[in-house]
Amino acid sequence: MASHERQVTLLALASPLPALLVALGLLWTGGYAPRMQWTLTVLLVALWLVLAFALRDRVVRPLQTLSNMLAAVREQDYSLRGRRASTEDALGLAMLEMNSLMDELRERRLGALEATALLQRVMAEIDVAVFAFDDAGALRVVNASGERLLGQPSERLLGRRAEEVGLEECLSGDAPRVVELALAGQRGRWEVRRGGFRQGGRPHRFVVLADVSRALRDEERKAWQRLIRVLGHEINNSITPIKSLAEQFQESLRRGPPDEAMRADMQSGLGVIATRSEGLTRFLASYTRLAKLPAPRLASIAVGAWVTRVAQLETRLPVEVRPGPDVVLLADGDQLDQLLINLVRNAVDAALETGGGVRVTWRRDGARFELVVQDDGPGLPHTTNLFVPFFTTKPGGTGIGLVLSQQIAEAHGGSVALVDRTEGRGCEARLVLSC
């Protein structure tokens, strides 16, 4: 089959050929002088060839330009541009669209290069180790933190299997989770996160390791400091009067046998010692209760019946239940009862100070369930200490209700928050769970 360029050339030569033959026939049969005949023949044939090949070039050259531009696109070179781009004719429109395509591809490539450079910069600077493994388990990507973690440069790590670099445990099991690893001679605790992606049509897995040893140590130290501060405060409150009374009794006994007045004083003092000892025992029992919250035993709970039942337990003040949608939760009924009792009791305590009311309602947003306990009390004091164990602003309060409620919510994958109301006086306790 003849090529496209040959077909165009033959058509360019054949199109004016009938007219040329007619003109030459008339020229040679018209009785003209031989010199004129040869001159005009040469001129007509030359003009025929020039116009035919010019026509060929006007058809073939733009196609060659388009071909070169497409080849440049394949090579990711977007600098070429076609001339005579306009909307006046089909060829100009094709050149215009091709130039626009080259500009668009150039902008996208520039954006991709900038994004890649940013990603590489971020991966080099972040303080987490990132590894990527192919479907055969060979390491294909590692960042600077990963090199420091494994104690080797990427040139020696790439291509090695996960078990060879000590990361096989990170490719299986639950994620995210905290694991203890010994890497490059150092042992620490790491949070493991995993994900998947495809590159070159092949599945890959990436592993992200974040060092939580220091953060956990800091949190543990802060927790111990808070625990010691609270325990020290409460124990001192109980030990100080016990010590003072014991010293008074010793001093009285050194002065001689006790008389009736002294016996009465000692009896009263022993009562104080017993009371403070009992209070200290209750305090330690409360701490034990917080530390030994059992795992929830899940069952179906109808929210409407649950809220109504708990609201009816409060006798000091009528609790208004504003029904929401029909929702069934999968949760531990006893623990949720304790949680809601604490929230309603706190709301009633606040409402009694101002003579206001308490309302309970709930709503659902997809898989998100939110219950709101609203009161008309004075609002929230010391909001930074609300969930500190044994912190309380109520006389005779234990300071464990909100902490226990928070633990119950977190054990169910949810949360508890207290915020001041925006439309009036009082506050709202918000319980968020999955349904």
- CATH superfamily entry for domain 126-211: PAS domain (3.30.450.20)
CA–CA distances in Å: residue 411 to residues 21, 241, 407: 100, 39, 6
* 3/164 Cα distance (integer angstroms): 59
Of the candidates 289, 281, 283, the one whose C-alpha atom is nearest the C-alpha of residue 404 is 289
pTM recorded for the entire structure: 0.41
Query: Under CATH, which number does the domain 299-434 receive?
Result: 3.30.565.10
For 83-140, the DSSP string reads: SS--SSSHHHHHHHHHHHHHHHHHHHHHHHHHHHHHHHHHHHHSSSEEEEEETTSBEE
H-state helical runs in 294-400: 303-313, 333-354
The per-residue pLDDT string of the chain (435 residues; one tens digit each, 9 = 90 and over) reads 457 677 777 777 788 888 888 888 887 887 778 888 888 888 888 888 888 888 888 777 877 888 888 888 888 787 777 776 667 777 777 788 888 888 888 888 888 778 767 777 777 777 788 888 888 888 888 888 888 888 888 888 888 888 888 888 888 877 788 777 777 656 777 788 888 888 777 888 888 888 776 665 666 666 666 666 656 655 666 676 677 777 777 777 777 676 677 777 777 777 767 776 776 676 666 556 655 667 788 899 999 999 998 888 888 889 999 999 999 999 988 888 888 988 998 899 888 988 889 999 999 988 899 999 999 988 876 554 455 554 445 544 445 667 778 888 888 889 888 888 888 788 898 999 987
Residues 6+ apart with CB under 8 A from 103: 78
Buried b (16+ CB within 10 A) or exposed e, 106-144: eeeeeeeeeeeeeeeeebeeeebbbbbbbeeeebbbbbb
**pLDDT value, residue 382:** 57
Q: CA end-to-end span of the chain, whole Å?
A: 70
Contact 167, 161 (CB under 8 A): no
Domain range annotation of the chain: 4-103, 126-211, 219-291, 299-434
C-beta neighbour count of 390 within 10 angstroms:
19
**pLDDT value, residue 360:** 94
> CATH topology of 126-211 equal to that of 299-434?
no
* DSSP state letter for 424: S
Contact 364, 324 (CB under 8 A): yes
**pLDDT value, residue 405:** 83
H-state helical runs in 153-197: 154-157, 162-165
**pLDDT value, residue 3:** 75
